[in-house]
Structure 1
Amino acid sequence: MPLRSIAGQLSPAGPRARLSILIYHRVLARADALLPAEPDAETFRWQLRVLASVFNVLPLNDAVERLDQGTLPTRAACITFDDGYADNATVALPILREVGLPATFFVATGYLDGGMMFNDQVLETLRRIPEGRVDWPEVGLEDRRIQDDQDRKHLAAELIQRLKHLDPVERAERAQAIAERAPEPLPTDLMMNSAQVRELSAAGMTIGGHTQTHPILARTADEQARAEIAGGRETLEHLLGEQVRLFAYPNGKPGQDYDARHVAMVRECGFDAAVSTAWGVSTGKSDRYQLARFTPWDQTPGRFALRLVRNLMTRPGRQEV
């Protein structure tokens, strides 16, 4: 039986619909050995074509409304991007327009116009470190050796994991200490500028909130967490001149990266819905402030399509808090 037919049986139209939401972060102009999980332009193009051949792709705001009403079409799906990388506008947007699909972009506003997220400070520093011995005891690397990009990738992953769940202030300080090791200036154009956010919106894409500086909310004081959630929304609304209705939790694992306090904050700040990174699908019974998402990482069209369909069999709402 063709995958499209199987998907239709698993995700019928109407009240029994199952909504699939895909997560992307970046679409690279060309493949990058230090970012093997991020699709390049050609990969993204065939992924979108496969998605469109099996699913009916909707804007996320429309999908949430129709999920509430019980009027979703069969095989409903949405595309989302997290963080606000510049290649969302320069690489992903032209391909989305070419294939004719909508997407939602969740933007961490503190990095607009020249900022850099902590993980990129780590990665871009190690990209520039020459081969040889690395001895950085103040950030937890002692007597390591870099021989190739594989070593750089592994060291970056190790440092990012160590820093990810720190208090936001401490995380920023440690990331800056690493960035100061770079033998040359780090790029200032990895994240979108304000004009690119407006360009996405003008092209019919949806812009959503993603806090200001992408803290792990569960490791952040309540007052600061609320300010991050509300402040990101206010910045985007001022930039776009329109209301921002959707939110994505940074990192997004329920019960680990955010909890019920933050779900309440997002609701109280005026958002209509929010997405997590709990895998699976959402149904009419799902919490609108904890919609499931997933990342299909497969490298061939057949396996990519199969994973899209298999995700429909994941029990919805299993990781809500």
Structure 2
Amino acid sequence: MTESAAHRESLPLDSTAQLLTRITTQLGTQLRHVSLNGTRRPMTPPPHPPPHQAPYRAHPAAYRALPPPPPTLVAVAHGSRDPGALRTVTALLERVRELRPGLDVRLGHIELNEPLLTGTLADLEPGRAVLVPLLLGRGYHVKYDLPQAAVTAPHLRIRTAAPLGPHPLLVEALYARLTEAGWTASDSAHRGSGVVLAAAGSRDPESAADTRTTAALLGERLGGVPVLPAYASAASPTVPEALRALAARGRHRTAVASYFTAPGRFAAQSAAAAPWIASAPLGAHPALARLLLLRYDQALAGRSPAPRRQLTAA
């Protein structure tokens, strides 16, 4: 044994002052986990910082057991030159954030408005995202534009949700907008009443099928009132043609139900053709916000994927 080792062995373990200090420190640590009634407080897990932040890099084991943050919800709007469209979609997404606090909700447009979808995806940190189209049926944008945008973001693992329609929540929003415009229970009972469901239109037959399904559901919600689908572009019948078809059946008290998520040229054009009342676009109706989150959850569960077609090389 060396002289220094022998000297250390001959020293007392602690002075009285040192021993008291150690006891006080340990006791204080234990008491921090005890409430006033003597029960032990549950340990609070540390917050879950993004992996790129310094605390995670320094102490990854402390956060390894925590669940990962939910994928970002990217709402995909079409875009419009009408300034009211962006305001409406922004208000809708605020409702979504209120319903699901803590969920990262972003906006991307297919065209005409900033931010564009490709830009929104490029700005996201590497991780997961779900594209939720604010579109009311299957068509070119859902089947082609969204998958092509996803290809531009290889740093993300992307799922694409089904379009919003058809769904009973949309019907509830349509009914509420018609009521706001002046539709009453007596109108539903009036034998001369009818409704034209005015949609954007698409050359895709599946999009038209989705609109017809919504028209049938709205007719049931209105107590059997005939509801004819009509289109502002790319398909027939047009809104004026549908109004004439209802008039030929003796339905002269006809309303136009605006089947658009936000204001725009097609919505204004369809409303202008109404001989009686025209409802406002669906906008930030609470049912629409709930439906948006439902499509997000369905996409994560893999229960309702949006139809996809094979992309061809550009």
Same fold (TM over 0.5): no
Q: What TM-score results when the alignment is normalised by the length of structure 2?
A: 0.29
Q: What TM-score results when the alignment is normalised by the length of structure 1?
A: 0.28
Larger radius of gyration: 2
